[in-house]
Amino acid sequence: MSLPASKKKILIVIMDGLGDRGCKELGGLTPLQATDTPNLDWFTKNGISGTCDTVDIGVCPGSDTSHLSILGYDPLEVYTGRGPFEAAGIGLIGRKGDVAFRCNFSTCDDNLNVTDRRAGRIDKPDTTELVKALAGIKINGIEAVVKEGTEHRAALILRGNGLSAEVTDADAHDVGPLRLSKGKVPEAEFTAMVLNEFVRETHKRLKDHPVNKRRAAEGLPPANILLPRGAGSFPNIQSFPEKYRMKAACVAGVGMIKGICGVCGLDVIDLPEDCTGGVNSNFISKAKAVMKTLEKYDFVLMNIKAPDVCGHDGDPNLKCSVIQRLDEMAGYFKDNFRDDMVIVFTADHSTPCSLGDHSADPVPITIYTPGNVKDVAAVFSESGCAQGRIGRIRGIHIIPICLDLAGRTEKFGA
Amino acid sequence: MSLPASKKKILIVIMDGLGDRGCKELGGLTPLQATDTPNLDWFTKNGISGTCDTVDIGVCPGSDTSHLSILGYDPLEVYTGRGPFEAAGIGLIGRKGDVAFRCNFSTCDDNLNVTDRRAGRIDKPDTTELVKALAGIKINGIEAVVKEGTEHRAALILRGNGLSAEVTDADAHDVGPLRLSKGKVPEAEFTAMVLNEFVRETHKRLKDHPVNKRRAAEGLPPANILLPRGAGSFPNIQSFPEKYRMKAACVAGVGMIKGICGVCGLDVIDLPEDCTGGVNSNFISKAKAVMKTLEKYDFVLMNIKAPDVCGHDGDPNLKCSVIQRLDEMAGYFKDNFRDDMVIVFTADHSTPCSLGDHSADPVPITIYTPGNVKDVAAVFSESGCAQGRIGRIRGIHIIPICLDLAGRTEKFGA
C-alpha cells in the first residue's frame, strides 16, 4: 500500500552567529550552554539533532557563503566573489551576464589625484543624493547602475553584451594618481575601457554637485569620484523555486541576507518596523510574519541577526539575553506549530565572543517534524546537539534532508 | 613487529527497508525501538555502530541504487537507468555493450494499432510459452534475448556491435498506432532500426501462437506484440571479485537483488524453498545457507526482504514481529559465529510504515568482528546506533571499512 504523500512546508530558522566557544565570563560555558532554553530544548528532545559545518569542515564562513550553502548552493562552486553579493546585499540584484563591483565614494583633485578614498566617510543621505546624479550612464551600449550602501560604500553593476569580470580594480587602494582598470585577458579590454570611462563620467557629474559644494563649504572632503573594485560576475545558478519546486520566501532584516536570497530567487518579505535586524529587534513580531508567510509559501528562510552582533561585540552576557528571547520565539513556534511543517533551528556560523568575529566551529542543528524518529539529544547547544543522530553534516545537506522529511523527494532508482 | 595478517571473511546482512520513523501505533517509537532485540543489541554492544546514507545524505534510494552503493559502486556514477537492472532482476544479466529494455506484452490489431498495452494483464505460464517463440531472433547481426517477468512485463537485451542506448521508446505509453523508436543521436539510428524490426518480428511470431488462439477463444486479449521502453546500457563496472579480490556470493530471495549482484559479478546462491523472499520466509534456514556459503566464499551479501514488505504495507506491528524473527536470526549468527569473520547488520534504506514507501532517513549499521574496539552504542536502532563511533557514513564506505577489519587493505603510502 502506498499512502498518499502529503507535502509539508519547510521553515529554516537561522540564528545568525549563534555558535560560540567557552566564555570566561560564563565559567567556561558557551552562551547557549549557559542559558536556559526550554523551548529550543523541546524541539531537540522531540526532533533529530547534530552539528553542521555550513560551508565545510574548518572553513570559516561569511554570511554570504553560509547562506548560499544552507540554500543548497555549494559556495565552493558558485561563489563568484563579494562584488555581486555586496551589490545584492544593498538591494542591487543583478542577473546572469552582469558584472558587479564594490565601490567607494572618494575625493580627488582636478588632476584625478585621489586624496581621500572614503571622502571623509560620507554617509546617507548625501550619498543617496549623489547616486541620483549617476542615473542613466551608458557607455558603448553598456548600462551602469549604481546604488549607495553604508557610509562611503556603493555598488555598481555593468549590464550589456561582451562584458567580462577579468578586470583589475580602478582603485589603487591608496591615495595618489587615479589607477585605471586593465583587462587581465584580451577579452576583458572592452570592460576595462568601459569601467575607466564610467569613473571619469562620475567625476564629471559629481564635482560640481550641490551636495559637494555644501560639503566644501563645511570643510568636508567632496565625494567627487566613484572608485570600483572587486569585479565579479553574477553567478549562473538555477533559481531556488525552480531547483526545488517550492514557492520560497526570505524573512530577514539585514540587507546582505536579503540580497543573497534575492539572487537565489526567493521572494523577500517586507517586515514590520520593529524587526530591525539588530539586537533590539522584536523576534516574536518576526516569527508572526514568518507564520503568515508560510500560509502562502512552501519554504521560508528566517534570519535573526542579533546573536551575531553580540559575538562581534564580544559580549557574552548580551548574547545570553538574546538567546533567552530567541527561546521565547521558539516557544511561539511551538505554540503555533503547523503539523504540515518541517522546522529547522540552526545558525549560519559561529561568532565566538572571545574572537569578536566568525569562526569555523560547527553550529548546532535540530530538525523537527511530527512523526519522525526521536534521538537521544535533549539540549539545544553546541555539545548537546552533537549527541543526536544527524551527526556532522554540511550546510548543503540541510535542504535534501528537509525535502525528504517534507515528502518532496523522488526515489533514485527502483 | 608486524604480525602476519590473516584475512577474514565478510558477511553483510541487509535487512531490506528496516529503517523507520516514529509510528503512532507504537507510541511514537520506530519498530526497531519498540521491539526487544537482545541478539542484535549484543552485536551493537560488542561492535562499532553508526548511521548510513546508502546513496547520499537526503537521497531516497531504490533497492537497486542502494545495493550498488553497499557493494562499493557509487550509483551517482554507474547507475544507467532501470532497464538493465530490471532485466537483471528477472534473471537476464547482460554484459558491457548490451542494451536492455523493459517491455510489455501488448495487444494490437492487424494494422499494428495497439488496443491494450498490458494484454489483459497476461501472466505466467502464458508469457513463458510466448517467450519460447521469440528465441533466436537476430537482426543485422544483433541478437535479441527476451525473458518474461511478472504479469505482462518482460525484459529485452540487444547484443552485438554498434548498439546505443540513445533511442526513444517503441511504445506510445497509450493505445493507438504503434510508435516506432528513433535515434536521439545519429549513432543510435541503427539501434532504433533493429528495435523496430524486432517489434514487428514479435508480432509475426506471436499473432497466430496457440496461446493467443486459446486466449481469443476465451475472450481474452491476445499478447501478440512486445513493446520495449526505457533503453539503458549495461554499466561498465569492474566485477566485484576482481575489484576487491574476494570470491563473492549473494544470498537473496528477490529477483532484483539477485540481478544487481549478478551484474556486479557475484555468484547467486540457490536457496531452499522456505526462503521465499516474503514475510513468511524462514530466516534461520537462510542464515544456515549463508554460513554454508561462507565456507567456500570470502564475501557474502545477504538480503532479507521481509521488513521492507511491512513498511510498504504500512504495518508497524507486522514489522515488529518480523524484527523479532530477525533478532532470532542474529542469535543464530552469534551462536554459529566464525572468528575469521566480519559481520555487518544494516539496511539498504528506510521504508517508514507511515509513508508506505522508501525514504532518505539514514539506516542503522553495526559492524562486529572479534578483537575490534567496542564503542558506547548499546542498542541496535535508528537512534541507538547513532551513538557509536562509525558516525554517519555513505553506503560506499561499508566495504572499505570491512576490508580493513578483514585484513584485506593495502597501506596507502609508507
Cis amide bond preceding A38, omega within 30: no
Q: How far is B361 from chain A (nearest CA, A)?
A: 8
Q: Which residue of chain B comes nearest to A401, CA vs CA?
A: B58
Q: Is residue A245 within 8 angstroms of chain B, CB to CB?
A: no
Angstroms from A70 CA to nearest CA on chain B: 14
Mean pLDDT for A314-320 is: 97
Q: How far is CA A366 from CA A7, A68, A389, A390, B196, in A?
A: 20, 19, 10, 8, 55
Minimum Cα–Cα distance from B364: chain A residue: A389
pLDDT at A4: 44
User: What is the rounded distance in angstroms from the CA atom of residue A57 to the CA atom of residue B5?
Assistant: 35
With beta carbons under 8 A apart, name residues in chain B contacting A371.
21-22, 24, 354
- Whether the CB of A409 is below 8 Å from some CB of chain B: the reply is yes
Higher-pLDDT residue of A257, B335? B335
The model's confidence at residue A117, banded by pLDDT at 50, 70 and 90, is very high
For testing the chain A interface, which of B392, B393, B394 should be mutated: the one with the most A CBs within 10 Å?
Answer: B392
pLDDT average, residue stretch A130-149 = 96
> What pLDDT is stored for residue A60 in this prediction?
97
Average pLDDT over residues A294-314: 97
Burial class (CB in 10 A: 0-12, 13-18, 19+), A120: middle
Confidence at residue A115, expressed as pLDDT on a 0 to 100 scale: 96
State residue B252's pLDDT score. Answer: 94
pLDDT over 50 (residue A2)? no
pLDDT higher than threshold 90 for residue A130? yes
pLDDT given for residue A3 in this prediction? 42
Average pLDDT over residues A145-170: 93
Poorest-pLDDT segment among A83-87, A193-197, B183-187, B222-226? A83-87
d(CA A43, CA A371): 13
Residue labelled with grid coordinates 543624493: A129
Interface check A404 vs B, CB under 8 A: yes
Of B28, B356, B387, the CB nearest to A1: B356
For the segment A107-131, the average pLDDT, to the nearest whole number, is 94
The edge-to-edge listing of strands for the beta sheet with B267-268 is: B267-268, B248-251, B299-304, B9-15, B341-346, B363-368, B48-53, B391-394
Instruction: Give per-residue pLDDT as tens, B234-282.
Output: 887 899 999 999 999 999 988 889 888 988 999 999 999 898 888 999 9
Burial class from Cβ neighbours inside 10 Å (0-12, 13-18, 19+) for residue A314 reads middle
Residue A181 has a pLDDT of 97
Task: With beta carbons less than 8 A apart as the criterion, state whether B188 and B167 touch.
Answer: yes
Does B59 sit within 8 Å of A409, measured CB to CB?
Answer: yes
d(CA A362, CA B125): 60
Mean pLDDT by 10 residues, chain B (414 residues): 72 98 97 98 98 98 95 91 80 86 94 94 94 96 93 93 94 93 96 97 97 95 95 88 97 88 92 88 97 98 97 97 98 97 98 97 98 96 97 98 96 90
The amino acid at A105: F
Nearest to A371 among B63, B354, B391 (CB): B354
Segment A110-137 shows an average pLDDT of 95
Contact assessment for residue B398 and residue B410, using Cβ atoms and an 8 Å cutoff: no
pLDDT value of residue A16: 97
Contact between chains at B82 and A413 (C-beta distance less than 8 A): yes
Facing B58 at nearest CB: one of A1, A401, A407: A401
Query: What pLDDT score does B87 carry?
Result: 86
Instruction: Return left, alpha or beta for A407; rule: phi > 0 is left, psi -120 to 50 is alpha, else beta.
Output: left
A62-66, A121-125, B378-382, range with greatest mean pLDDT? B378-382
Nearest chain A residue (CA) to B30? A373
Q: Do B359 and A3 touch (CB under 8 A)?
A: no
Q: How far is B327 from chain A (nearest CA, A)?
A: 21
Put simply, whether A115 touches B (Cβ < 8 Å) is no
Choosing among A340, A368, A373, which should be mutated to test the B contact, i.e. which has the most B CBs within 10 A? Answer: A373
| A5 band by pLDDT with thresholds 50, 70 and 90 | low
Q: Any chain B CB within 8 A of the CB of A372?
A: yes
Q: Is A2 in contact with B82 (Cβ distance < 8 A)?
A: no
Strand partners, A343: A11, A368
Which of B58, B82, B391 lies closest to A397 in CB terms? B58
Pick A373's closest partner by Cβ from B22, B85, B256: B22
Please tell me if residue B313 touches chain A, with a CB cutoff of 8 Å.
Answer: yes
Which one is predicted more confidently, A236 or B198?
Answer: B198
Residue A217 forms contact with B (CB below 8 Å): no
Q: Tell me, what's the ipTM?
A: 0.85
Contact list, A404 vs chain B (CB under 8 Å): 58, 60, 359-361
3-state secondary structure chain A: CCCCCCCCEEEEEEECCEECCCEHHHCCECHHHHCCCHHHHHHHHHCEEEEEECCCCCCCCCHHHHHHHHCCCCHHHHCCCHHHHHHHHCCCCCCCCCEEEEEEEEEECCCCEEEECCHHHCCCCHHHHHHHCCCCCEECCEEEEEEECCCCEEEEEEECCCCCCCECCCCCCCCEECCCCCECCHHHHHHHHHHHHHHHHHHHHHCCCHHHHHHHHCCCCCCCEEEEEEEEECCCCCCHHHHHCCCEEEEECCHHHHHHHHHCCCEECCCCCCCCCCCCCCHHHHHHHHHHHHHHCCEEEEEECHHHHHHHCCCHHHHHHHHHHHHHHHHHHHHCCCCCEEEEEECCCECCCCCCCCECCCEEEEEECCCCCCCCCCCCCCCCHHHCCCEEEEHHHHHHHHHHHCCCCCCECC
The three cell numbers of residue B229 are 521502453
Answer whether B362 touches A (CB < 8 Å).
Answer: yes
B376 touches chain A (CB under 8 A): no
Size of interface A-B (CB pairs under 8 A): 110
pLDDT at A328: 98
| Nearest CB partner across the interface for B60, out of A388, A392, A409 | A409
A411 contacts B62? CB cut-off 8 A: yes
Higher pLDDT, A95 or B120: B120
**b/e for A171-198, b at 16 or more Cβ within 10 A?**
beeeeeebbbbbbeeeebbbbbbbbbeb
Of A5, A376, A390, the CB nearest to B387: A376
What pLDDT does residue A205 have?
97
Nearest CA distance, B113 vs chain A (angstrom): 30
